[in-house]
A and B are shown apart, each in its own frame.
Chain A
Amino acid sequence: MSEQSPALELRRINKSFGPVHANKDISLSVDRGTIHGIVGENGAGKSTLMSIVYGFYQADSGDILVNGKTCRIENPQSSIEAGIGMVHQHFMLVDTFTVLENIILGIEGGYRLKEGLSAARKELVRLEKEYALEVDVDAIVGDLPVGLRQRVEILKALYRGAEILILDEPTGVLTPQEADHLFRILDTLREQGKTVILITHKLREIMAITDNVSVMRRGEMVAHVRTGDTSQAALAELMVGRSVLLHVEKETAAPKETLLAIRNLNYVDIDSVPRLKNINLDLRAGEILGIAGVSGNGQSELLEVLGGMLAPTSGSIKFKGQELVGNKTFTARNLRKIGLGHVPEDRHRSGLVLPFSANECSILGYHDKPEYNRGLQLDRNSMVETCNTYIEKYDVRPPDPYLKASGFSGGNQQKLVLAREMEQNPDVLLVGQPTRGVDIGAIEFIHKQLIKMRDAGKAILVVSVEIEEVMSLADRIAVMFDGGIVGELPAAEATETQLGLMMTGVREPKSDAKATI
């Protein structure tokens, strides 16, 4: 192996799934000891490409070269042997196992576990020191925070002797501080001569850490550039194929009367775990209130309580001055009728019925309206008509009202749900994760729609784990941690560092008066 040959080289890789050509003639060259970014929208084929490198799928044609030598990668086993390790977007860990058990899984070294475990323990002490990757090897993985689980995944790959480490959307689940820590780890890896491939759609990360970047669009590799020679805007344009606004342009908000007043709201779940602790929030007409926080800190429960899906344990929710808690009409169905729309954060679980067609999905929750009914039957024509207007107005692609919801991409599914809820013209709209798994073009569109609605005097509550999204969209930001509101501040004054700290529970001194933990 010569020093000049790249650590990993792909030559004309092709892969189709049925009629979908996921990778078209992809060529890529990754230099040893560098961090190489691969960016692209959702569905651009990044993950497919890396799954081929990791042996999950076989390419239909093309060659993979590791250190200049052609490598037949038929399964993860052969990829591991070639020195490739992968940290998947959804961690490939067994939650009930200890860190140590997870790390040795697959390379136990003998039919009895004992020797393998003690050998691994020694080796891990060395690896942890070398790469500053501290983690308690006897902890149960399911009890660890995500940041640490990711470290376990990295250790797993290093323990297998990986020289090339692929990370698929590694920061999606991390706080900004955790992400920074990850980048420091990646830096150390690079210093030690490892090669890192970073797949992401967050351009900020690409600019911050990578040496080179490759851009994918619709299954094709459209550009290879040195990170130093490009900019976020240029990369975004390459990804989408046209120029996009990275920041939502909007006027200053002119908030009017309070539409939704939440006082001392508590929710204790079925296992007696308090999920919401004394929440106090006001939502006014003509403003967007953003809720930031690492996922799992009560945001989902807050949305479900406000949406009428969970009954709060105590507290008060007033909608236009009318008390909802304890009222028989506090149901998801009735809330929609009185003008409180809800775009659930998990469109697959609560927003859509995936095997239903687009026209059926576009009346879900409103199916008892007279215009969609004809006697005992649903009125298919009017449903299709409704769906067609949504498709046109929200630019849903493909424009087929008969296509199953599962056949649309994430962004288009989200547009369908948004269209359905926004077109009812509610006074208050709750939106959970408006752009999760949505590509850049659609994000821009969705953000514009939300701003337009705000300017029309509606009140919008946006819950998002994307800190940049909250910062650019909201007029006011409240940060949640461990079921409570850590603090609230105007979006104009918020900085990423400050929000990141608040997301870990550090109270922001200035807005102490409003904090209500």
Chain B
Amino acid sequence: METFQIIILLLDATFRIATPLILAALAGMFSERAGVVDIGLEGKMLGAAFAAAAVAAVSGSAWVGLGAGILTSIALSMLHAYACVTHKGNQVVSGMAINIVVAGLSPTLAYAWFSMGGQTPPLGGDARFKSIVLPYAETARDVPVIGYIYAELISNHNIIVYMAIAAVPICAWILYKTRFGLRVRAVGENPHAVDTAGISVDWLRYKALIMTGFLCGISGSYLSTAHGAGFIRDMTAGKGYLALAALIFGKWRPVPTLFACLLFAFTDAVQARLQGVELPIVGVIPVQFIQALPYILTVLLLAGFVGKAQPPKSIGEPYIKER
């Protein structure tokens, strides 16, 4: 295969891998910009993945599944809000608790309901989001370069991939151009200012966390009903944490976060491609090592190359009126 085609296929895979990361990172952006640490992205994604697959399997509709995924994720997000906003609990502990609970609960429920060893039944037909072929994609395929890019890279993804790409400008617009966005940014920096301006800090944070749950639900549903075809235990495999890393790498801003997600996804696509390939000089690199690459990259980027990430000033601190 010629290099051009390899690059296009790599980028194509990058988009598919980046989709859940982008959605989850944007989800985390609302929570963290509102001053609530969200280490529970992972758990919310996993919960949504399970709910979406289970409901899609029973109802036969991927869209109903997506709805269930979103609702589950919002419910988990509200649990986080109840613990951290209403009762001023520790945000990291609450997020971690959600991750652990979901990791245990989802395979248990899957086992109880479907008796398939902790999985949901394989999804097919309308129970899964299928790739959309954009108009004239096949006719255009033969046009050199542009036609191929259109048919291979731009066309032929499922709806959620396009949703993820569209979510970036939409979220950026919400965050920077709307009243809600202004307040979210304010409450993450200085909740006292928000309170004295006559806005309820708690309710505002709840609203931000609903946004988080919503986006995270789409992200999780994608894994089990679009990218995969059914729920398997631990199918998020650290993507929630990776999304959080991308958010920090992107300095809590939508567009840089998008690029961070694409970078992580690209290394993942490369590692999938490199498996078993004989390289000059080094020979075949052990699969485990290659699989670890995205994570090693994460650590290196966060450790050195980001510069000082300036988090929202009041992140992690429950809002308590001073006496």
User: Could you say which residues of chain B place their CB within 8 Å of the CB of A113?
Assistant: 177-179, 181-182
Inter-chain contact A105/B183, CB cutoff 8 Å: yes
Whose C-beta in chain A lies nearest to the C-beta of B173?
A112
Q: A76-B195, A76-B196, A105-B193 are in contact. Are A94 and B178 (CB under 8 A)?
A: no
| A164 CB to nearest B CB, Å | 15
Among the interface residues A75, A76, A114, which one has the most CB atoms of the partner chain B within 10 A? A76
Q: A75-B198, A94-B185, A94-B190 are in contact. Are A110 and B313 (CB under 8 A)?
A: no
Q: A111-B180, A112-B177, A114-B177 are in contact. Are A105 and B189 (CB under 8 A)?
A: no
Contact with B along A85-96 (1 / 0, CB 8 A): 010101011111
User: Could you say which residues of chain A place their CB within 8 Å of the CB of B186?
Assistant: 94, 97, 105
Q: Which of B247-304 contact A (CB under 8 A)?
A: none
Q: Which of A217-242 contact B (CB under 8 A)?
A: none
Q: A17-B323, A95-B313, A113-B182 are in contact. Are A106 and B190 (CB under 8 A)?
A: no
Q: Is B321 an interface residue (CB 8 A)?
A: yes
Inter-chain contact A92/B182, CB cutoff 8 Å: no
Q: A95-B313, A111-B180, A112-B178 are in contact. Are A88 and B185 (CB under 8 A)?
A: no
User: Could you say which residues of chain B place their CB within 8 Å of the CB of A110?
Assistant: 179
Q: Is A108 an interface residue (CB 8 A)?
A: yes
Contact with A along B158-194 (1 / 0, CB 8 A): 0000000000000000000111111101100110111
User: Could you say which residues of chain A place their CB within 8 Å of the CB of B199?
Assistant: 77, 105-106
State the CA gap A105–B194 with chains docked (Å): 7
Q: A17-B323, A56-B321, A106-B198 are in contact. Are A92 and B179 (CB under 8 A)?
A: no
| B253 CB to nearest A CB, Å | 12
Q: A93-B190, A114-B177 are in contact. Are A105 and B182 (CB under 8 A)?
A: yes
Q: Is B237 an interface residue (CB 8 A)?
A: no
User: Could you say which residues of chain A place their CB within 8 Å of the CB of B180?
Assistant: 111
State the CA gap A80–B198 with chains docked (Å): 8
Q: A76-B195, A97-B185, A106-B199 are in contact. Are A116 and B179 (CB under 8 A)?
A: yes
Q: Is B1 an interface residue (CB 8 A)?
A: no
Inter-chain contact B189/A108, CB cutoff 8 Å: no
Q: Is A455 an interface residue (CB 8 A)?
A: no
Q: Is A102 an interface residue (CB 8 A)?
A: yes
Q: Is B197 an interface residue (CB 8 A)?
A: yes
Contact with B along A295-337 (1 / 0, CB 8 A): 0000000000000000000000000000000000000000000
Among the interface residues B177, B186, B193, B200, which one has the most CB atoms of the partner chain A within 10 A? B193
Whose C-beta in chain B lies nearest to the C-beta of A110?
B179
Inter-chain contact B178/A111, CB cutoff 8 Å: yes
State the CA gap A104–B200 with chains docked (Å): 16
State the CA gap A106–B186 with chains docked (Å): 10
Q: Is A101 an interface residue (CB 8 A)?
A: yes
Inter-chain contact B193/A93, CB cutoff 8 Å: yes
Q: Which of A101-138 contact B (CB under 8 A)?
A: 101-102, 104-108, 110-114, 116
User: Could you say which residues of chain B place their CB within 8 Å of the CB of A94?
Assistant: 185-186, 189-190, 193
Q: Which of B181-239 contact A (CB under 8 A)?
A: 181-183, 185-186, 189-190, 192-200
Q: Which of A32-67 contact B (CB under 8 A)?
A: 48, 54, 56-57
Between A and B, how many residue pairs show CB distances below 8 Å?
75
Whose C-beta in chain B lies nearest to the C-beta of A17?
B323
Whose C-beta in chain B lies nearest to the C-beta of A93?
B193
State the CA gap A91–B17 with chains docked (Å): 45
User: Could you say which residues of chain B place their CB within 8 Å of the CB of A102?
Assistant: 193
| B197 CB to nearest A CB, Å | 3
Q: Which of A145-177 contact B (CB under 8 A)?
A: none
State the CA gap A114–B173 with chains docked (Å): 12
Inter-chain contact A95/B189, CB cutoff 8 Å: yes
State the CA gap A88–B322 with chains docked (Å): 12
User: Could you say which residues of chain B place their CB within 8 Å of the CB of A90?
Assistant: 192
Inter-chain contact A101/B198, CB cutoff 8 Å: no
User: Could you say which residues of chain A place their CB within 8 Å of the CB of B185?
Assistant: 94, 96-97
Partner of A112, one of B179, B195, B197: B179
Partner of A96, one of B177, B189, B321: B189
Q: A93-B193, A97-B185 are in contact. Are A111 and B198 (CB under 8 A)?
A: no
Whose C-beta in chain A lies nearest to the C-beta of B199?
A106
User: Could you say which residues of chain B place their CB within 8 Å of the CB of A111?
Assistant: 178-180
| A140 CB to nearest B CB, Å | 12
State the CA gap A101–B182 with chains docked (Å): 8
State the CA gap A102–B190 with chains docked (Å): 11
Q: A94-B186, A112-B177, A112-B178 are in contact. Are A88 and B323 (CB under 8 A)?
A: no
| B35 CB to nearest A CB, Å | 12
State the CA gap A136–B186 with chains docked (Å): 20
User: Could you say which residues of chain B place their CB within 8 Å of the CB of A80?
Assistant: 198
State the CA gap A108–B196 with chains docked (Å): 15
Inter-chain contact B177/A106, CB cutoff 8 Å: no
| B254 CB to nearest A CB, Å | 16
Inter-chain contact A92/B196, CB cutoff 8 Å: yes
Among the interface residues A94, A97, A102, which one has the most CB atoms of the partner chain B within 10 A? A94
User: Could you say which residues of chain B place their CB within 8 Å of the CB of A76?
Assistant: 195-198
State the CA gap A111–B186 with chains docked (Å): 15
User: Could you say which residues of chain A place their CB within 8 Å of the CB of B200?
Assistant: 75
| B196 CB to nearest A CB, Å | 4
Inter-chain contact B178/A106, CB cutoff 8 Å: no
State the CA gap A92–B186 with chains docked (Å): 11
State the CA gap A112–B173 with chains docked (Å): 10
State the CA gap A90–B192 with chains docked (Å): 10
Among the interface residues B179, B186, B313, which one has the most CB atoms of the partner chain A within 10 A? B179
Q: Lowest 7 CB-CB distances: which A-B pairs, in order?
A: A106-B197, A77-B198, A108-B179, A92-B193, A92-B196, A76-B198, A94-B189
Residue pairs across A and B with Cβ atoms less than 8 A apart, 27 shown, are A48-B323, A54-B196, A56-B195, A56-B196, A75-B198, A76-B195, A76-B198, A77-B198, A79-B198, A86-B196, A88-B192, A90-B192, A92-B190, A92-B196, A93-B190, A93-B193, A95-B190, A97-B186, A101-B182, A102-B193, A104-B182, A105-B183, A105-B186, A106-B197, A106-B199, A108-B179, A110-B179
Known pairs A77-B198, A92-B190, A102-B193; list 15 more (Cβ under 8 Å): A76-B195, A77-B199, A80-B198, A88-B192, A88-B196, A90-B192, A92-B195, A94-B193, A95-B189, A95-B190, A97-B185, A105-B186, A105-B197, A106-B194, A111-B180
A residues engaging B (CB < 8 A)?
17, 48, 54, 56-57, 75-77, 79-80, 86, 88, 90, 92-97, 101-102, 104-108, 110-114, 116
